[in-house]
A and B are shown apart, each in its own frame.
Chain A
Amino acid sequence: MSTVRVVDPGPLALVQDLGRPGLAALGVSASGAFDRAAHRLANRLVGNDESAAALECLLGGLRLALPAGTWFAVTGAWGDAALVNDGGYQRVEPHTAMRADTGAELHLGPVAHGLRSTLAVRGGLAVPVTLGSRSRDTLAALGPEPLRAGDVLPIGSEPQAPVPVADLVPVDPPTDGVVELGVRPGPRHDWFDAAAWSLLLTSEWITSARSDRTGVRLEGPALARASDLVGVELASEGMLRGSIQVSPDGAPTVLGPDHPVTGGYPVIAVVVDPALDRLAQLRPGQPVRLRLVAGRR
């Protein structure tokens, strides 16, 4: 069986697939790729099933030894990347299937746009499955451990589909400017005072450095509770990826793929599904605006 070897995992490299939905009754969150579109694209580029396991690399810095003949593709966050062997150096283009003709090291440089890159290899990563998925859930500590130098990961068998012929996949790198996220009201939007809802939708929020796959914290004005609900405890209730929880000090956190299944902080709004992938690419300090998306209610 063919394998890849981790030379340097960079700040954090995790195996992810499309997660393990449907296990909330056991207290298990769906987890899975944070930037789902980047994950699917990387797999499609190398002819994999979209759900094949790939690497989610935070901030770049990954160095991975690939055996000769390995097809791979990098999507999501972008920085300089190169294929390095004894004889040379070949630039790696984003969103493009490439083949390591001889054994080589793939180097992901520091990311310049976005935060998390997806690296798919043809055949997928055939690490052991936990509860139906190869995803690392960082909060629940389920699935494969974060990568360490020296780890050897098996590559799965050759997929039926060929590597598709695509000259150019027109995908822009993640934006560096203000990111707009669509939201819809959450179940406890009425727990807050009248000013809070308007502050939520009109403020320029700043992505906190204290963000991870459990949740992305937003820094800005405090969202005050309605006066009769200050200090009231909410019985734990089910949470979603995208739920915007507000802690007692008024700070909002948008829950990520490894969120707890239930939580006791009121949810003022929920980021809509088409905007969830953008959460994965928010850099610390990056501004965010929340926009109410039309719909029922």
Chain B
Amino acid sequence: MAALGRLAVCLALLCAVFAVGASVAGAARRRRDLIDAGANAAYAVFGLVAVAVAILLRALLTHDFSLEYVAAYSSSTLPVQYTVAALWGGQKGSLLFWVFVLALFTTLVQLQNREQNRALMPWVTAALMAIAVFFLALLTFVTDPFELLATPAREGQDLNPLLQNYWMMIHPPSLYTGYVSASVPFAFAIAALVTGRLDDQWIRSTRRWALFSWFFLSLGNLFGARWAYEVLGWGGYWAWDPVENAAFMPWLVSTAYLHSVMIQEKRDLLRVWNMVLVLLTFTLTIFGTFLTRSGVISSVHSFTQSGLGPFFIGFLVAVILVAGGLVVWRLPALRTRGTIESFASREAAFLFNNLILVGIAFAVFWGTVFPVLSEWVRGVKITVGPPFFNRVNAPLGVVLLFLIGVGPVIAWRRATPRNLRRAFAGPLVAGLVAAVLLRLAGVPFGWAHATFALGVFVLGTIVQEFYRGVRARQAMLHEPAARALARLVGKNRRRYGGYIVHVGVVAIFVGVAASSAFRIETQQTLAPGQAMKVGRFALRFERTESREDAHVASLAAVVAVDEGGRRVATLRPEKRLYKKPQQPTTEVALRSRLTEDLYVVLGAYDPQSGQATLLAYVNPLVSWIWIGGAILALGTAIAMWPSPLERRERAWAAGRVGAAAR
């Protein structure tokens, strides 16, 4: 079966090379047969890579330890869900999974565009397949997932215990989906640049893909944060690790694009800037992959490090040269004559929002690469850790939060003083009142205080928009409030979906600010029966419980939690020892509430004395990060859902195609 898997990858590479050549030649010579052959070869790539993935998955599930990959990343006792996750748990498997998702998206794009974008599609196929060629060449010539061991192993080395967690089942696929789907707008941008069709068509065709990519990048980052929170056991969820940064940067640039593209659609401005943002988002996904795989910067994600760095840096340089060259070549055609008419306009607000988002992305990039720069210039190794990123990004984040409130409600073109009063008087008063009340309640001035007050301001603008929209419908159509609200959102999903996304973002901001600024923590070594205090909770270490199976041995400290003299929970923080890699891990015990999380970690246990060292944290409002993520997902789903008008247009187009076929 391994030979079949390798053959499938090799054939997929040949088909991808053919798809690139045929698509380019077909487009250049205007030959439909070649274009169709290129598209069919791309379908074949998907089929062949799917076969390769199925073979590797089968090898994992049947514990075929003759394969080096299966022996290195699974074991016979690994639970089945993590055996499936082992597909992307290691270097080779994750690259194969990446190219599978890419081939799947290429197929979907081709199916979507059978009857449209005929001039762009050969170049889109060529660009997507060129990316596939790179990954398939790595899998064929450099890092073969079907490599056989000289002597089959009797047992596998098991999946890294840190990855044996529910969130790791969904964090990497979400992130890969976000990364890979960024290839689609990139491919359309390349096609638009090559063909000179620089109007809005390529943007309209990829709007949902850009949103889809952003959605999965958002989820991927949040799932990763949740994984870190539950698994790493240090009380936090974001450590500004280089690989976290690598996933955060394309998200920031993609967010900037989703805002600035509205200016192009509405006012035909910022064509060059939007093109740059799309190309930069994709480039950053490759840069992120380079960081993860190269080991050039030390990271907690070292389980995926390899010698692939030079290949990725080469690909990165090629992408930058080709994309940059095309932009420079088309610069005269990309320039628009329109202009932003006033600082007090939505265009200007979105532009400053873009500036801050890209500024934060740059700050994160700069902090990530600065240790390499320092070593290169001074020959001195330094660390750029959380204190740097927090200090640099906090002020930029607060400015961004303010702009989240301004951008969506300020008037297009030029806001008059009357427009400004109408849009902002209420929310500003609400924000100021909140600032005063928070101070009176004992919240000290600082970034967290500013975040809470600005959060109220932003929510004020959003609530006001919903309220005015509902009132307008009620006045005109005499609808009940609930129906007016549902139809208001249903009729303009993109706009109101966007507002809902902003509510989610505010919740995330508030959760991050509160849990960063007001966290309480304590560490104590306790004998059975002894208690410690953290915040308003008393934690009594009662006893230990242990259990063991063939895969893992665990020791839990049973901790009774009292609040105001009343028992509110019994928590069981654990230490686990995974038997095959002989690696200990921490299993956090959580009591989550909307107001705060009580987070308890078993730091150490001494069997001789029976004493346990407990680390306990009270993380205020941290749940709002995850709730914000759910709200953000809801808003994005609403924004992506086709409107009745779009559905009608699609049905009409399908009918036209059907009639033509008959």
* Genuine A/B complex: no
Interface residues, chain A, with chain B CB atoms under 8 Å away: none
